[in-house]
Amino acid sequence: TDPAVIRNFCIIAHIDHGKSTLADRMLQLTGVVEQRQMRAQYLDRMDIERERGITIKSQAVRMPWGAEDGTPHILNMIDTPGHVDFTYEVSRSLAAGEGCILLVDAAQGIEAQTLANLYLAMENDLTIIPVLNKIDLPAAQPEKFAAELAHLVGCEPEEVLKVSAKTGEGVGELLDEVVRRIPPPVGVADAPARAMIFDSVYDAYRGVVTYVKVVDGHLGKRERIQMMSTGATHELLEIGTNSPEMTPSDGLAAGEVGYLITGVKDVRQSKVGDTVTQQKGGATEALGGYKDPKPMVFSGLYPLDGSDYPDLRDALDKLQLNDAALVYEPETSAALGFGFRVGFLGLLHLEVIRERLEREFGLDLIATAPNVVYQVTMEDGSEHTVTNPSEYPTGKIAEVREPVVRATLIAPSEFIGAIMELCQTRRGALQGMDYLSEERVELRYMLPLAEIVFDFFDALKSKTRGYASLDYETTGEQAADLVKVDILLHGDKVDAFSAIVHKDKAYAYGVKMASKLRELIPRQQFEVPIQAAIGSRVIARETVRAIRKDVLSKCYGGDISRKRKLLEKQKEGKKRMKVVGRVEVPQEAFIAALSSD
Ligand code: GDP
Ligand code: MG
């Protein structure tokens, strides 16, 4: 194919602004998906994606489009994940194209992810086509938001296109504009091959399917290829394009977007951002931008039933085949038994994985409260990376550092006060503030990741009646006054409840956990003190009073079989108890205490 007729682009938008619906309409309009096969959000294949209405894995689809003058063009549409946890994948998808459609809901206007995605597009030097969607809505304000959007991207309001992904209005014109405004790919056709991996997906039947954009040269069927970051070589068993199902071909040339299959079984052997070249006479310099995904949030996952441990391991192994960002290692907890410490890109990633483990693999799990990664420097100069609060080093600590993020918040200006107050209580530092229009404002904050991964978004939504939007990117770490709070039952530490918190919040955490546990732990035959402590200093205390529970006292007479039954019943009940030191704690108490309120 002549690169001059190829257009590679993606659609970027804030969540719910209609990206998937627009993609559907394009598939329909170009005839790639027939009417009768059409179902909503065709490209969102995973069940959880469809249910939650989010796009996790990006996909690329090739669509034919005859431009106005009749020349047949090839449009490669690259769908991108929209959530902050998957920024790196968004950025790789963007790098695979020469342009993008910046889609904004005409009833909502610019939101935080609109901006975050726009900045990524600008960093990748993409041609940006600003588009307002949902103009069919009675609440749409196309003129007002066209001005806002034009101001943002630096164009005239007339250059902002107006469409309805729902009715299809304006979508044909939009495709014409894609051909007109977005430049064709430039690459060196007769150079050694260099193809950028922007996605890789595990398929149970075919192994890993790797999505690439060929930047230079040509990759052909049966050729031996090499992954430039690792030097690993593979045979190209199949190569082709998606339109939208996989269609094999003889090869992909410079400028083309398509897929490869090599028979590898694990997405970590086909890493997003890596460069593919030929084994013989291949390129010597990789395309830029490769980065290992870095887990930001950790949580302990434990099977409710200890005998499910091998199944949990198998399930994690399987999920990892399709998720290079998922990391885990075995962990034991005195309270919870055998499990895994699992690293995630963010909280949504955690929820998705947990839901898949429960739903697709039928596992019942306890997850410990998620935590970020801390760097601890001791006075003797040694360094520790702490991914589990119960492994916080003891001894003289010189400094603790925690990850921080640069957050962008957008809201109507009446909520400035509420947002500032919230960010203040979350140890935020205001970096700047800009008015997008008279009544909408953008606030920029530096915030500790630990303060925003848990309930920040919910708090923000409730303080702004749902009007504020948030996006953030991690930007390194900073020293903070952090301490580890332990929870002790009858003098024994319960590892699952240890937390690393800011000094000012340690007392509140201790009091909350101690009183929660007092409610949850049944009376034992002796008094059980519950303590929260920093090191050896107790900061909160509660007590569960003793009780002498004798199940046999209610049995009169000598009915032996009834006695035995009762004893067995009591034993049954004990099986679901975890023993911490001398104290028996029902499984439910752990779950309840670990669930956020
Ligand atoms: P995404 O999160 O950006 O992929 O957004 P979706 O495509 O999932 O759309 C979010 C919601 O907006 C869905 O309920 C769509 O049906 C709806 N929607 C998308 N485009 C339009 C449109 O042009 N008009 C109207 N009225 N609703 C739309
Ligand atoms: Mg979507």
Question: Ligand 1: distance of its center to the CA of 44 in Å?
Answer: 13
Question: Ligand 1: distance of its center to the CA of 19 in Å?
Answer: 7
Model confidence at 568: pLDDT above 70? no
Question: Ligand 2: distance of its center to the CA of 7 in Å?
Answer: 21
Question: Ligand 1: distance of its center to the CA of 167 in Å?
Answer: 11
User: Of all atoms in ligand 1, which is nearest to the CA of residue 19?
Assistant: 3
Question: Ligand 2: distance of its center to the CA of 392 in Å?
Answer: 40
Structural tokens at position 42: 């065709």
Between residues 403 and 454, the one the model is more confident about: 403
The pLDDT of residue 56 is 39
Residue nearest to atom 18 of ligand 1 (CA): 18
Those residues whose C-beta lies under 8 Å from the C-beta of residue 466, and which sit 6 or more positions away, are none
Between residues 454 and 506, the one the model is more confident about: 506
Which pLDDT tens digit goes with each residue over 249-308?
Answer: 999 999 999 999 998 888 888 888 899 999 998 889 988 777 777 888 999 999 988 899
Amino acid at 228: M
The pLDDT of residue 53 is 46
Between residues 84 and 327, the one the model is more confident about: 327
Question: Ligand 1: distance of its center to the CA of 196 in Å?
Answer: 30
Pocket probe for ligand 1: among 10, 16, 38, the residue whose CB has the most ligand atoms within 8 Å is 16
Task: Please state the residue numbers annotated as binding site for GTP.
Answer: 16-21, 133-136
Distance (Å, whole) CA 128 – CA 144: 19
The answer to whether 453 and 347 have CB atoms below 8 angstroms apart is yes
Model confidence at 2: pLDDT above 90? no
Question: Ligand 1: distance of its center to the CA of 21 in Å?
Answer: 6
- State percent of the chain over pLDDT 90: 50
Which pLDDT tens digit goes with each residue over 334-355?
Answer: 778 899 999 998 877 888 888 8
User: Of all atoms in ligand 1, which is nearest to the CA of residue 55?
Assistant: 4
* Residues with CB in 5 Å of ion ligand 2: 19-20, 55
Confidence tier at 313 by pLDDT (50, 70, 90): very high
Distance (Å, whole) CA 475 – CA 132: 31
Confidence tier at 168 by pLDDT (50, 70, 90): very high
Ligand at minimal distance from the CA of 23 is: 1
Residue nearest to atom 10 of ligand 1 (CA): 16
The pLDDT of residue 338 is 93
Confidence tier at 402 by pLDDT (50, 70, 90): very high
Confidence tier at 242 by pLDDT (50, 70, 90): confident
User: Of all atoms in ligand 1, which is nearest to the CA of residue 15?
Assistant: 2
When mean pLDDT is compared across 60-74, 218-232, 384-398, the lowest value belongs to: 60-74
Between residues 111 and 206, the one the model is more confident about: 111
The answer to whether 101 and 161 have CB atoms below 8 angstroms apart is no
Residue nearest to atom 14 of ligand 1 (CA): 16
Question: Across residues 10-38, what is the average pLDDT?
Answer: 84
Ligand 1 pocket, residues with Cβ under 6 angstroms: 13, 15-21, 41, 53, 55, 82, 133-134, 136-137, 164-166
Q: CA torsion, points 157, 158, 164, 167, in degrees to nearest 10? A: 160
Confidence tier at 596 by pLDDT (50, 70, 90): low
**Phi and psi (nearest 5°) for 398?**
-85, -45
User: Of all atoms in ligand 1, which is nearest to the CA of residue 21?
Assistant: 7
The pLDDT of residue 481 is 95
The answer to whether 157 and 146 have CB atoms below 8 angstroms apart is yes
Question: Across residues 536-559, what is the average pLDDT?
Answer: 73
Distance (Å, whole) CA 188 – CA 215: 8
User: Of all atoms in ligand 1, which is nearest to the CA of residue 44?
Assistant: 4
Ligand at minimal distance from the CA of 56 is: 2
Nearest residue to 443 (alpha-carbon basis) of 461, 428, 425, 463: 428
Ligand at minimal distance from the CA of 111 is: 1
**Phi and psi (nearest 5°) for 12?**
-120, 145
Which pLDDT tens digit goes with each residue over 463-499?
Answer: 998 888 888 888 899 999 999 999 998 888 888 888 9
* 205: three-class secondary structure by DSSP: coil
Nearest residue to 21 (alpha-carbon basis) of 101, 114, 111, 130: 101
Structural tokens at position 158: 């007339």
Burial class (CB in 10 A: 0-12, 13-18, 19+), 190: exposed
Model confidence at 224: pLDDT above 70? yes
Distance (Å, whole) CA 216 – CA 287: 10
Between residues 589 and 191, the one the model is more confident about: 191
**Phi and psi (nearest 5°) for 54?**
-120, 160
Model confidence at 233: pLDDT above 80? yes
Question: Ligand 1: distance of its center to the CA of 74 in Å?
Answer: 25
Model confidence at 558: pLDDT above 70? no
Strands 238-242 and 218-220: unpaired
Is the link from the previous residue into 330 a cis peptide, with omega within 30 of 0?
Answer: no
Q: CA torsion, points 400, 371, 88, 206, in degrees to nearest 10? A: 140
Model confidence at 177: pLDDT above 60? yes
Residue nearest to atom 19 of ligand 1 (CA): 18
Residue nearest to atom 2 of ligand 1 (CA): 16
Distance (Å, whole) CA 480 – CA 501: 10
The pLDDT of residue 301 is 94
User: Of all atoms in ligand 1, which is nearest to the CA of residue 137?
Assistant: 26
How many residues make up the chain in this entry? 597
Confidence tier at 576 by pLDDT (50, 70, 90): low
What is the distance between the terminal CA atoms of the chain, rounded to a whole angstrom? 58
| Kind and range of the H or E run holding 339 | strand 337-344
The answer to whether 121 and 100 have CB atoms below 8 angstroms apart is yes
Ligand at minimal distance from the CA of 49 is: 2
Distance (Å, whole) CA 450 – CA 484: 14
Task: Please state the residue numbers annotated as binding site.
Answer: 16-21, 133-136
**Phi and psi (nearest 5°) for 218?**
-150, 140
Question: Across residues 158-182, what is the average pLDDT?
Answer: 96
Question: Ligand 1: distance of its center to the CA of 345 in Å?
Answer: 26
- CB < 8 Å & 24+ apart, contacts of 411-415: 411/440, 411/441, 411/443, 411/464, 411/467, 411/468, 411/469, 412/439, 412/440, 412/441, 412/464, 412/467, 413/438, 413/439, 413/440, 413/441, 414/439, 415/463, 415/464, 415/467, 415/468
Residue nearest to atom 6 of ligand 1 (CA): 18
Model confidence at 24: pLDDT above 80? yes
* 501: three-class secondary structure by DSSP: strand
Which pLDDT tens digit goes with each residue over 371-386?
Answer: 999 999 999 999 999 9
Ligand at minimal distance from the CA of 12 is: 1
CB contact burial 577-589 (16+ within 10 A = b; e otherwise): ebebeebbbbbeb
Which pLDDT tens digit goes with each residue over 32-68?
Answer: 877 556 665 555 555 554 555 444 344 688 999 986 7
- State percent of the chain over pLDDT 70: 89
The pLDDT of residue 438 is 82
User: Of all atoms in ligand 1, which is nearest to the CA of residue 14?
Assistant: 3
Nearest residue to 367 (alpha-carbon basis) of 379, 389, 351, 356: 351
The pLDDT of residue 271 is 84
